[in-house]
Amino acid sequence: MVSDKMAKALNSQLNFELYSAYVYLAMSAHADSVGLKGFANWFQVQYEEEMFHAMKFFNYIMDRAEVELEQIDKPRKTYKDALEMFEETLKHEQEVTSRINELASLAIDEKDHATSTFLQWFINEQVEEEATVKEILDNLKLAGATGAGLFMINGELAARTFTPPATA
């Protein structure tokens, strides 16, 4: 069993991962609505990644405490352009990283070694999440968020497919 405080914090992160999935699903719909099919694909794959993260928390909480599902906040519906979508994505991932770090600190404070080990996967995953988003954002700034640059990046993002991340 984990402490009540830890159970609450883990359930809160489960909710935030589900909210993250919702944010990216809404971004996918928005990208599709403005004709950016490649961006729509990338955000749909991102949605699937977040659902994978959520289910990792769900299964861990089931093993060690009680799952308590909360209401999921309504995500934003529209964005100015592709650049803003990726600026917001980077900010969102930085927020996730900060929440994972808070959780990891709590696990250390509570000498909850099993939760510390569980969270290690997410610490590594966030390094990759931020780096991937930052690279796309840099490309958008370099190649241009309109015209030929946008068209090229849209084509690249169309190629992304969901592969369940390694869990080891």
Q: Which residues bind ligand FEO (CB under 6 A)?
A: 17, 20, 50, 53, 93, 96, 129
3-state secondary structure of 72: coil
How many helices (DSSP H) and strands (DSSP E) are in the chain? 5, 0
Closer Cβ to ligand FEO, 43 or 79, answer by number: 43
The tokens of 11 are what? 């359930």
Nearer Cβ to ligand FEO, position 118 or 150? 118
CB of 137: closest distance to ligand FEO in angstroms?
A: 14
Sign of CA dihedral 64, 165, 54, 13: positive
**Of residues 121 and 144, the one with the C-beta less far from ligand FEO:** 121
Indicate the residue whose CB is closest to ligand FEO: 53
Q: Say how many C-beta atoms besides its own lie within 10 A of residue 105's C-beta.
A: 12
Measured CA to CA, the distance from residue 65 to residue 142 in angstroms comes to 47
Closest approach of ligand FEO to the CB of residue 126, in Å? 6
Q: Which residue number, 93 or 112, has a Cβ lying nearer to ligand FEO?
A: 93
Q: How far is CA 142 from the centre of its chain?
A: 24
Q: How far is the CB of 66 from ligand FEO (least distance, A)?
A: 22
